[in-house]
Structures are given as C-alpha cells and as structure tokens.
C-alpha cells in the first residue's frame, strides 16, 4: 500500500520489511538512519521499545505506551493506530463493545475515549480490562461477554489468529449492529462468520491498516505531498483482489 501511494504521488521511495530482534532496535534504527532511511513503522512486540528510542513522542503514544511510527531524521515518535482506527469507525455511531485489552485495544480505546465515544471493555483476563477502563473516561468494564446495547462490537483479541471466535450472545444484538474484527486475512475468521450468519454488517482490519498507514505516510512525507490524503490509494491497494 505504501508502494501504491509512492507511485500515485510520483515519489522515488521504497517501503521494505525488516526483522529486528527485541533488544536490538536502537542499534538497528541507528544503522538505518546512517543508511539514509527516512522513517520506520514498528510492529509487535517492539512498540514499547520504540517509544524508549525516540527523543520526542506525541502525548497519545506516551499514554498508550506504544510508538508505531518514527521519523528517523528527527527521532520523533508517533502512534497512528488509534487515529487510524477512529477514522474507520466514524460512520458507526453509538456504544462500542471492545473485546480485548492488549496493545491494539489500548490504542483504540484511547482514541475513542478522547473522541467522546461510550465504551464497554471485555477481556479474557478481566484485571487487564479493569486497568484499561480505569485509564480513560467513558470506558467501563464488561465482566460478561454480552452485546447489550452495543451498536458496534470490535474484536481486538488475538482469538482469530488462533482460529477461534468469541462466545457472544449474537441472538441479542441490535439489528444495526456492526461486527468489526481488527484482524485481516484472506477469508473471514470465526468472529466475522458468526456475525454474518446472524445477519449483521461486518468489517475487517484492512481499512484500519490502510488508515494508520496513511497517517504514517503523512507523518514522514507531508512536506512532499502537502494536504493530499494517501488513504484512498492505500485502501484500494490492500482491498483490491489479488490477480
């Protein structure tokens, strides 16, 4: 999706994937800076270590203890997961049931809370949901996995990765419920399949992937693309059927 946006804006850059072991991030990023890399995205499990590397970090990234975007020229760190997710959920107003309290849940709960959304948080390990809810206004803990009045249910757990669904009371969902799985894969996982079976609208994690990527892109390259928004090209690149 970054390549599609470079091509759209006529920029001569490349986006590459590199594996870095925990504990080696500082040396790796110093080396990339030396080689002339402009910026990096960081993914699990290195987002906290990335925060420690940065000389300046935006308030949101500090609050969620995760940096996923660094400008290597300034060593400035940023988190685009929260704002990226928020962009994708704007069309779905109302109460949100968030399932999960890991890294991605921290970012999406924080961004929705700051935007004034009403949230309930359920997590397999309830103490983590309690801790997360205590950090943000408008967020409460849901001890049982119940839809109640939710207009959106977000699966921010890693259950789909293991081929598992969530034991939700789908039969009690509102007719306008949207089931949103942060995970993306070629075929819908058990969570989205169950929602579809019960007649609900669904959404996977690809729009969030594109939206957080577009914010990273702008963080590095705003001086070259002005006010332009790379999101449409990036979304198209990740959702276009592969030939």
Q: Which active-site residues does the annotation give?
A: 47
10 Å Cβ neighbour count for 114?
A: 17
From residue 96 to residue 135, the character string flagging contacts with ligand NAP as x (rule: CB under 6 A) and all else as - is: ----xxxxxx-----------------xxx--x-------
Residue 63 interacts with ligand NAP (CB under 6 A)? no
Alpha carbon of residue 123 to chain centroid: 17
Distances from the Cα of 19 to the Cα of 107, 134, 237, angstroms: 23, 35, 23
Residue placing its CB nearer to ligand NAP in the complex, 65 or 95: 65
Residue 193 interacts with ligand NAP (CB under 6 A)? no
Residue 182 interacts with ligand NAP (CB under 6 A)? yes
Residue placing its CB nearer to ligand NAP in the complex, 104 or 113: 104
Residue 216 interacts with ligand NAP (CB under 6 A)? no
What whole-number distance in Å separates Cα of residue 177 and Cα of residue 170? 10
Residue placing its CB nearer to ligand NAP in the complex, 33 or 49: 49
Residue 205 interacts with ligand NAP (CB under 6 A)? yes
Virtual torsion, Cα 118, 124, 130, 133, nearest 10 deg: -30
Report the nearest approach of ligand NAP to the CB of residue 73 (Å).
25
Return the residue nearest ligand NAP (CB atom). Answer: 102
H/E element, 126: helix 126-135
Residue 66 interacts with ligand NAP (CB under 6 A)? no
Burial 192-220 (b: 16+ CB within 10 A, else e): bebbeeeebebbbbbbbbbbbbbbbbbbb
From the list 145, 146, 202, 140, the residue with the least C-alpha distance to 172 is 146
Q: Interface residues with ligand NAP (CB under 6 A)?
A: 44, 81, 100-105, 123-125, 128, 156-162, 164, 182-184, 205, 208-209, 212
């Amino acid at each position: 999706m970054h390549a599609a946006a470079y091509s759209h804006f006529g920029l001569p850059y490349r986006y590459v994937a590199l594996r870095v072991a925990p504990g080696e991030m500082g040396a790796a990023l110093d080396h990339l800076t030396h080689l002339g890399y402009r910026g990096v995205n960081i993914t699990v499990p290195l987002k906290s270590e990335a925060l420690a590397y940065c000389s300046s970090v935006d308030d949101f990234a500090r609050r969620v203890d995760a940096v996923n975007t660094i400008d290597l020229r300034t060593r400035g760190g940023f988190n685009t997961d929260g704002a990226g997710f928020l962009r994708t959920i704007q069309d779905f107003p109302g109460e949100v049931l968030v399932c999960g309290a890991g890294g991605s849940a921290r970012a999406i709960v924080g961004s929705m809370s700051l935007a004034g959304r009403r949230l309930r948080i359920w997590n397999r390990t309830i103490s983590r949901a309690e801790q997360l809810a205590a950090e943000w206004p408008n967020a409460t803990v849901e001890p049982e996995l119940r839809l109640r009045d939710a207009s959106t249910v977000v699966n921010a757990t890693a259950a789909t990765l293991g081929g598992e669904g969530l034991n939700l009371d789908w039969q009690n969902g509102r007719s306008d419920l949207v089931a949103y799985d942060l995970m993306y894969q070629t075929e819908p996982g058990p969570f989205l399949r169950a929602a579809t079976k019960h007649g609900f609208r669904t959404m996977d994690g690809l729009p969030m992937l594109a939206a957080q990527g577009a914010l990273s892109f702008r963080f590095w390259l705003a001086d070259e693309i002005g006010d332009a928004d790379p999101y449409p090209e990036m979304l198209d690149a990740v959702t276009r059927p592969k030939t």
